[in-house]
Each structure stands twice: as structure tokens, then as C-alpha cells.
């Protein structure tokens, strides 16, 4: 599949995250390179490709689906609106390409499962781009929790908010369109960070959810959650209480409390991560490497593709998150506890 130890990537969907973050991060990776850009028009794709030293082709979505330049890449990185992840993943799988897909895996668990099935049938790896899984401070925190440093984990408190009103008020912004975003604007997009990072740190799976949510600003009239607050019960008996907002001061943190101590991740999710460990009334901020989280993610994905080693955030992992997110929205709407 891969020629000379470098994974050649076709990046799909040339929005701000791909152009400002992903392409430079791939550039900085020692294990992969961007060779193809894929966009709504071949003109835009070629224009972006012209600014990327390693890129040889710029394709429209139609050209991509028709299999053009398929010899020029080994894997795809999908960074389109959530409900458009599946068609690109399907085509990539049919072409025998590995798939790295942005979070959330898709706009629903059902469509996420279809992606898993398509990749399984084609025998290609599927990795969901949870960049916290490859963040050194988070990996360190996970090991400390495993090693019993905070005793037995009891509960977690997380938040992820951002002041996105200006961006999100753009009438073309897909995050406010349930057809493209999935069940809502907040939990699906940013609440997924405390939710999934807690799941990763505790190495536990969710079993039930409860939620409150509200939208008061006009911009959010299509979605239930300008602001959201949710609780998750995990299969080890621990709980997460979390909040998320697209219209609040940017704040990110996650606190894991155990019987003998706690780990505070703060800042947590906005591309900068630090951890503070407290045990027996002594608190220490750990000196963990400050990295480009997207480069770490691409290095990890390329390594998995090159070595066929087991994938942590695989398709099934992403589908379970979507089932939890659906449960959170159902709980918010019904006011009841929803079990998975």
C-alpha cells in the first residue's frame, strides 16, 4: 500500500481546519505528506495544492469519486461537514485507501457504522481524528490514573466552551444545520472533547446519559444546544458532569477526581494541554512536552497505517461516541435518563 515509508495523503475538504492546521501539521510530520487536495472545485483544489510543496494533484469531489489520481495517495484525511464524512470514506475504502476521519465520525451512529462496515469490507484501516489520544500530557495522565496515583477514579468534571457567535452566525455555517452537523451544535462539535477525553482517561465506556440544554440566541434556532450541560455514567461506576457552549467565554478543563487525589487538565482542548496532579494535599504541574497536536495525530495515523498495529480511536470507538451523543440529545429533549 505504501511505497517508501511515507504515507501520502489526500486531504478532503479545504476549510480553515485543513488549510490552517492539518496541511502544516502533515508538513511537519516525518511519516506523511500531502500529495493531493480535494475540494468543491478543481480550481480551488489546484490553488491550494500550488502552495503545498509535496502536492502533485488538485481534484474536485467528483474527480475524487471517479478515482482520478488514485495512484498519488495512500490515505485520505476527511475534514468536511460531519454528514459528508461517509461518502468520501466509502470512495476511499473502495479505492483501497486508509481513512483518517475528523471527529465526530459522522452525523449519526448509523452512518458511522456504515463507514466502519465499508472500511471493514475493503480491509482498510479507519482512524477517527481524536487528537487528545495522542497528546503527551493526556497520555501521561492516563498512565498515572492506571497506575493508581489518584486512587480509584470517582468522578470527572469537564467543560469546553468557545465564543463562536460571529463565525456561527454566518448563514452558510454548516454547524447550525442539523442535516450537515448531526443532532446539535454543541455536544457534537465541542462537548465531544470532555466526553471522549474522559472516556479515554478512564478507559471506560458510557452506559447512560442525562442532559439539560437551551438555545436563546436567534442564531441557534435550528438546534437545541447553544449551551449544554450533561452527565454520563460509565461502566466502571464513575460519572462525568460536563458543560459546553458555542456562545461563552473560551474555557476548557477536565478534572478527574479519585479516592486519593485528582488530575486537573487545564487548559485542556484548544490545542494546548497541561496537567496538574494532586495527591495527599501536594499539587504538581507536570512538565510535559508541548507539541503540535495535529502533527502527533498524523504521526500516529501514519504509524498505524505503516505497521498495521492496533488502532486506539478506531471506527467502533467513534460510533460509540455518536451513540452517546445521541443519548445526550435524547436526554436533553425528554428530560429523562437515557441508557445506551
For helices 109-122 and 315-334, give the axis angle rounded to 10 degrees: 170
Of 9-17, 25-33, 90-98, 221-229, the segment contacting ligand NDP by CB under 6 A is: 9-17
- The answer to whether residue 47 forms part of the interface with ligand NDP (CB under 6 A) is no
- The answer to whether residue 13 forms part of the interface with ligand NDP (CB under 6 A) is yes
Of 69-77, 79-87, 136-144, 210-218, the segment contacting ligand NDP by CB under 6 A is: 79-87
Copy the grid coordinates of residue 331.
436526554
Residues 137, 255, 79, CA angle at the centre, nearest 5°?
A: 60
Copy the grid coordinates of residue 291.
507539541
CB of 225 to ligand NDP, least distance (A): 15
Q: Please count the residues of this chain forming the interface with ligand NDP, following the rule CB under 6 A.
A: 20
Q: Which of residues 189-248 bind ligand NDP (CB under 6 A)?
A: 189
CB of 34 to ligand NDP, least distance (A): 14
- The answer to whether residue 186 forms part of the interface with ligand NDP (CB under 6 A) is no
C-beta atoms surrounding 200 within 10 Å: 20
Q: Which of residues 260-319 bind ligand NDP (CB under 6 A)?
A: none
The secondary structure of 79-94, three-state, reads: CCCHHHHHHHHHHHHH
Q: What 3-state DSSP class applies to 230? A: strand
Cβ proximity to ligand NDP: between 167 and 284 the closer is 167
Place of cell 439539560: 212
Of 11-19, 92-100, 219-227, 316-324, the segment contacting ligand NDP by CB under 6 A is: 11-19
Query: Which member of 33, 74, 102, 225 binds ligand NDP (CB under 6 A)?
Result: 102
- The answer to whether residue 174 forms part of the interface with ligand NDP (CB under 6 A) is yes
Q: What 3-state DSSP class applies to 320? A: helix
Cβ proximity to ligand NDP: between 128 and 263 the closer is 128
Q: What is the rounded CA–CA span in Å between residue 322 and residue 191?
A: 12
Query: Which member of 80, 162, 210, 247 binds ligand NDP (CB under 6 A)?
Result: 80
Q: What is the rounded CA–CA span in Å between residue 192 and residue 338?
A: 17
Place of cell 498505524: 304
Cβ proximity to ligand NDP: between 103 and 227 the closer is 103
Cβ proximity to ligand NDP: between 262 and 296 the closer is 296
Query: Which member of 24, 27, 44, 241 binds ligand NDP (CB under 6 A)?
Result: 44
Cβ proximity to ligand NDP: between 47 and 279 the closer is 47
Alpha-carbon Rg for the chain, nearest whole angstrom, is 20
- The answer to whether residue 129 forms part of the interface with ligand NDP (CB under 6 A) is yes
Of 2-10, 15-23, 321-329, 331-339, the segment contacting ligand NDP by CB under 6 A is: 15-23
Nearest to 69 by CA among 79, 80, 55: 55
**Residue 16 CB-half CA count within 13 A:** 2
Residue 78 near residue 101, CB atoms below 8 Å: yes
Query: Which member of 14, 99, 132, 176 binds ligand NDP (CB under 6 A)?
Result: 14
**273 to 155, 160, 265: CA distances (angstroms):** 20, 13, 7
Which residues contribute to the site for ligand NDP (CB under 6 A)?
A: 13-18, 39-40, 44, 79-82, 84, 102-103, 129, 131, 174, 189
Amino acid at each position: 500500500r505504501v511505497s517508501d515509508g511515507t504515507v501520502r495523503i489526500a486531504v478532503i475538504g479545504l476549510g480553515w481546519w485543513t488549510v490552517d492546521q492539518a496541511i502544516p501539521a502533515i508538513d511537519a510530520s516525518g511519516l506523511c505528506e500531502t500529495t493531493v487536495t480535494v475540494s468543491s472545485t478543481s480550481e480551488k483544489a489546484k490553488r491550494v495544492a500550488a502552495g503545498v510543496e509535496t502536492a502533485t494533484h488538485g481534484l474536485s469531489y467528483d474527480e475524487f469519486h471517479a478515482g482520478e489520481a488514485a495512484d498519488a495517495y495512500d490515505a485520505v484525511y476527511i475534514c468536511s461537514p460531519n454528514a459528508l464524512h461517509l461518502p468520501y470514506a466509502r470512495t476511499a475504502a473502495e479505492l483501497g485507501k486508509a481513512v483518517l476521519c475528523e471527529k465526530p465520525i459522522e452525523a449519526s451512529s448509523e452512518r458511522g457504522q456504515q463507514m466502519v462496515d465499508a472500511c471493514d469490507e475493503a480491509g482498510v484501516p479507519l482512524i477517527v481524528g481524536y487528537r487528545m489520544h495522542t497528546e503527551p500530557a493526556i497520555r501521561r495522565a492516563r498512565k498515572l490514573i492506571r497506575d493508581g496515583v489518584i486512587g480509584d477514579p470517582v468522578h470527572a468534571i469537564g467543560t469546553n466552551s468557545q465564543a463562536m457567535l460571529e463565525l456561527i452566525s454566518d448563514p452558510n455555517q454548516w454547524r447550525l444545520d442539523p442535516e450537515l452537523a448531526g443532532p446539535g451544535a454543541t455536544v457534537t462539535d465541542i462537548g465531544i472533547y470532555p466526553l471522549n477525553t474522559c472516556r479515554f482517561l478512564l478507559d471506560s465506556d458510557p452506559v447512560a446519559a442525562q442532559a439539560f440544554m437551551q438555545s436563546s440566541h436567534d442564531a441557534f434556532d435550528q438546534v437545541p444546544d447553544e449551551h449544554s450541560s450533561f452527565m454520563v455514567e460509565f461502566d466502571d461506576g464513575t460519572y462525568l458532569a460536563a458543560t459546553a457552549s458555542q456562545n461563552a467565554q473560551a474555557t476548557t478543563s477536565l478534572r478527574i477526581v479519585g479516592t486519593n487525589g485528582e488530575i486537573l487538565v487545564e487548559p485542556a482542548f484548544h490545542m494546548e494541554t497541561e496537567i496538574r496532579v494532586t495527591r495527599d494535599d501536594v499539587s504538581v504541574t507536570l512538565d510535559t512536552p508541548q507539541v503540535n497536536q495535529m502533527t502527533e495525530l498524523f504521526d500516529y495515523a501514519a504509524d498505524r497505517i505503516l505497521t498495521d498495529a492496533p488502532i486506539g480511536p478506531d471506527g467502533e470507538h467513534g460510533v460509540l461516541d455518536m451513540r452517546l451523543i445521541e443519548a445526550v440529545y435524547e436526554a436533553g429533549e425528554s428530560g429523562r435518563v437515557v441508557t445506551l
